[in-house]
Amino acid sequence: MLKTEKLQINIGPQHPSTHGVFRMLVTIDGETIVDLVPVFGYLHRNHEQIAEVNTYLQNMPYTDRLDYFNSMANNHAYALAVEKLAGIEVPERAEYIRVIMVELTRILNHAGALGFLINDMGAWQTQLAFGMREREKILDLFELVSGARLMCNYFRFGGVARDLPAEFVPKLRELMVAMPTFVDELERLLRENEVLLQRAVGIGILPKELAISYSVTGPVLRGSGIAYDIRKAEKYSVYDRFDFDVPVGSVGDVYDRFLVRIEEMRQSRRILEQALTQLPDASGGHINPKARQNVRPPVGDAYARIESPKGELGFYLVSDGSSKPYRYKVRAPSFINLTPLGDMCRGYKIADVVVILGSIDIVMGEVDR
What pLDDT does residue 314 have? 97
More confidently predicted of 243 and 4: 243
More confidently predicted of 45 and 233: 233
Give the CA dihedral 269, 272, 276, 281, nearest 10 degrees: -170
Asked whether the predicted pLDDT for residue 281 surpasses 90, the reply is no
Total residues found in the chain within this entry? 369
Contact 78, 63 (CB under 8 A): yes
pLDDT tier at 135 (50, 70, 90 boundaries)?
A: very high
What pLDDT does residue 195 have? 85
More confidently predicted of 12 and 364: 364
**% residues pLDDT > 90 (the chain):** 77
What pLDDT does residue 294 have? 86
How many CA atoms within 13 Å lie on the side-chain side of 40?
16
Interval 234-243 mean pLDDT? 95
Residue 169 to residues 114, 137, 206, 276, 310, Cα–Cα distance (Å)? 27, 13, 40, 8, 26
Burial class (CB in 10 A: 0-12, 13-18, 19+), 213: exposed
pLDDT tier at 16 (50, 70, 90 boundaries)?
A: very low
DSSP 4-58: --EEEEEE-PPPTTTT-S-EEEEEEETTEEEEEEEE--TT---HHHHHTTS-TGG
What pLDDT does residue 179 have? 93
The region of weakest confidence among 100-109, 132-141, 222-231, 286-295 is: 286-295
Helix residue ranges, H only, the chain = 47-51, 60-64, 71-86, 92-120, 126-146, 168-190, 194-200, 208-213, 218-223, 230-233, 254-278, 333-338, 341-345, 350-360, 364-367
More confidently predicted of 286 and 80: 80
300-308 and 325-331: which strand pairing?
unpaired
CA–CA separation, 256 and 313 (whole Å): 22
DSSP state of 297: P
What pLDDT does residue 304 have? 98
3-state secondary structure of 61: helix
DSSP 64-103: HTSSTT-HHHHHHHHHHHHHHHHT----HHHHHHHHHHHH
What pLDDT does residue 13 have? 85
DSSP state of 240: G
Asked whether the predicted pLDDT for residue 216 surpasses 50, the reply is yes
pLDDT tier at 2 (50, 70, 90 boundaries)?
A: low
Interval 258-266 mean pLDDT? 97
CA–CA separation, 46 and 31 (whole Å): 37
pLDDT tens-digit series, residues 294-350: 899 999 999 999 999 999 999 999 999 999 999 999 999 999 999 999 999 999 999
More confidently predicted of 6 and 76: 76
Interval 86-94 mean pLDDT? 92
Residues 6+ apart with CB under 8 A from 148: 142
pLDDT tens-digit series, residues 293-308: 789 999 999 999 999 9
Interval 176-193 mean pLDDT? 90
Q: Is 207 left (phi over 0), alpha (psi -120 to 50) or beta?
A: beta
Rg (CA), the chain: 21
